[in-house]
Structure 1
Amino acid sequence: MQETTQPIDKQSLLVEANKVIRAHEDFMHGMEATDVEQKNGVLVFKGEYFLDEQGLPTGKSTAIFNMFKHLAHVFADKYHLQD
């Protein structure tokens, strides 16, 4: 995968990812990617997961999980993180 993708630093990728989040039709206030790492060639985005007081997922948790998954697909063929 890395042979066909461009290297990008973490901060630049987060800027691009947050642009995609804000432009997405399922955007909700508070959605933001605050970190990204690469595991076995897959970009894994992280941020607020909107858990309740007991640490359990809410409806927003599902939405943000799906958004982070969407970002992984959007950027999979474009970028890999620079070392």
Structure 2
Amino acid sequence: MANKAEISINELLMIANQVIQDHQDYVDGMRATSVIEKDGVLIFKGEYFLDDDGLPTAKTTAVFNMFKFLAHKLSPEFTLNTLLV
């Protein structure tokens, strides 16, 4: 953890959403709305674009893959500091 920068949840979400928008697989409306850290891995959550019956759509896979990408990209760089605003 010593080589990771401590960051607030709000700051990390701003960075993550910029990464999402700049990514070639961006889908309109895709954004991270929350993040937690478990065992050093950042876990991003947001809208999964489920259908009216709560089933996955084509966009669901894209969102899942994007959140997985964010975890791989940002977890080595950052750790959450919940005391930071």
> TM-score, length-normalised on structure 1?
0.95
Q: Classify the secondary structure of the residue corresponding to 2:72.
A: helix
Q: Which residue of 1 aligns with 2:56?
A: 57
Q: Distance in 2 between matches of 1:36 and 1:20?
A: 14
RMSD: 0.7
Q: What residue identity is the alignment partner of 1:49? A: Y
Q: Which residue of 2 aligns with 1:76?
A: 75
> TM-score, length-normalised on structure 2?
0.93
Q: Which runs of 5 or more structure 2 residues have no equivalent in the other structure?
A: none
Superposed, 1:11-30 pairs within 5 Å as 11-30=10-29
Q: Distance in 2 between matches of 1:58 and 1:41?
A: 30
Q: Which runs of 5 or more structure 1 residues have no equivalent in the other structure?
A: none
Q: Distance in 1 between matches of 2:21 and 2:5?
A: 23
Q: Distance in 2 between matches of 1:80 and 1:46?
A: 16
Structure 1 runs of 4+ off > 4 angstroms? none
Q: CA deviation at 1:29?
A: 0.3
